[in-house]
């Protein structure tokens, strides 16, 4: 399965991705995780990305394409993947399609986890305390939400137009949301193999 996971900051995307990885045994490709590792290693890429991330803005498409292109060329990707945090705008969505077309591994399903804003703010406040992330202050969170609404939300429409989008109701417990995801994956892939 080649899955793109979409959702606002604090939608539970990362938590659900971890559960999916456990259940499905697919590689988890999180651009946030890759970037934070680069920052921690103080690599040139990490140095370029840190200030942008700390403001809650998007790291440049060029840098991101290099990062994701490299990761997607690793051999484990042949088993499928769960892509988390990429694409974040329409240009990245188009670039991803190109890379995956070359690899003959196109996206099969995009799952969008929908939550309301109040719930998101509460979750992020909890995560900031638990993980001490430097991009989880209130002002930065507000900026990340704005960037999401302006640049990332249209990515869902991009996949909807291709007939690849499934929306997941994201309120409720981690288990409840996870069950909805697994159900959506089963139905999505069952209907596909039925029509082949
Ligand atoms: P995340 O953990 O996915 O919320 O990502 C944390 C931060 O890393 C974001 O707020 C962005 O600054 C940066 N980032 C992650 N993925 C991308 C991406 N696909 N494009 C640009 N910036 C990204």
Ligand 1 centroid, distance to 183 Cα (angstroms) = 28
Q: Hey, is 57 helix, strand or coil?
A: coil
Q: Which two tokens stand for residue 119?
A: 């719930």
The burial class, CB within 10 Å (0-12 / 13-18 / 19+), for 137 is middle
Average pLDDT in the chain: 90
Separation of alpha carbons 39 and 147, rounded Å:
21
Question: Residue 193 — very low, low, confident or very high, per pLDDT cuts 50/70/90?
Answer: low
For the segment 67-92, the average pLDDT, to the nearest whole number, is: 95
Min mean pLDDT across 7-11, 18-22, 191-195 is at 191-195
Q: Are 35 and 53 in contact (CB under 8 A)?
A: yes
Q: Hey, is 182 helix, strand or coil?
A: helix
Does 88 sit in the ligand 1 pocket, CB within 6 Å? yes
Q: Which of the pair, 10 or 92, is modelled with greater confidence?
A: 92
Taking the CA atoms of 114, 111, 21 and 66 in sequence, report the sign of the dihedral they define: negative
Residue 78 DSSP symbol: G
Does 144 sit in the ligand 1 pocket, CB within 6 Å? yes
Q: Which two tokens stand for residue 127?
A: 């995560």
Separation of alpha carbons 66 and 85, rounded Å:
15
User: Does the pLDDT of residue 14 top 60, yes or no?
Assistant: yes
Q: State pLDDT tens for residues 116-156.
A: 877 777 777 777 677 776 666 777 878 888 999 999 999 99
Q: Which of 18, 85, 120, 140 to mutate to test the pocket of ligand 1 (most atoms within 8 A of CB)?
A: 85
Q: State pLDDT tens for residues 29-44.
A: 999 999 999 999 999 9
Min mean pLDDT across 79-83, 86-90, 127-131 is at 127-131
Taking the CA atoms of 163, 169, 175 and 180 in sequence, report the sign of the dihedral they define: negative
Q: What is the pTM of this model?
A: 0.89
Burial 45-75 (b: 16+ CB within 10 A, else e): bbeebbeebeebbbbeeebbbebbeebbeee
DSSP E strands: which ranges in 36-93? 81-84
pLDDT at site 134: 64
pLDDT at site 188: 76
Which ligand 1 atom sits nearest the alpha carbon of residue 88?
A: 19
Which ligand 1 atom sits nearest the alpha carbon of residue 68?
A: 19
Q: Which two tokens stand for residue 188?
A: 């999505």
């Amino acid at each position: 399965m080649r899955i793109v996971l979409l959702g606002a900051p604090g939608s539970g995307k990362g938590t659900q991705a971890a559960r999916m990885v456990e259940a499905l045994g697919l590689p988890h490709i999180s651009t946030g995780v890759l970037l934070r590792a680069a920052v921690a290693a103080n690599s040139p890429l990490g140095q370029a990305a840190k200030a942008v991330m700390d403001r809650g803005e998007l790291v440049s498409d060029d840098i991101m394409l290099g990062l994701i292109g490299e990761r997607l060329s690793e051999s484990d990707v042949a088993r499928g993947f769960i892509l988390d945090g990429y694409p974040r705008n329409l240009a990245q969505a188009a670039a991803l399609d190109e890379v995956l077309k070359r690899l003959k591994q196109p996206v099969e399903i995009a799952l969008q986890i929908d939550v309301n804003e109040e719930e998101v703010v509460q979750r992020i406040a909890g995560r900031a305390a638990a993980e001490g992330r430097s991009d989880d202050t209130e002002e930065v969170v507000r900026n990340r939400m704005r960037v999401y609404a302006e640049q990332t939300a249209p990515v869902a429409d991009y996949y909807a137009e291709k007939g690849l989008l499934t929306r997941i109701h994201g309120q409720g417990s981690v288990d409840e949301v996870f069950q909805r995801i697994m159900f959506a994956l089963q139905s999505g892939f069952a209907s596909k193999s039925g029509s082949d």
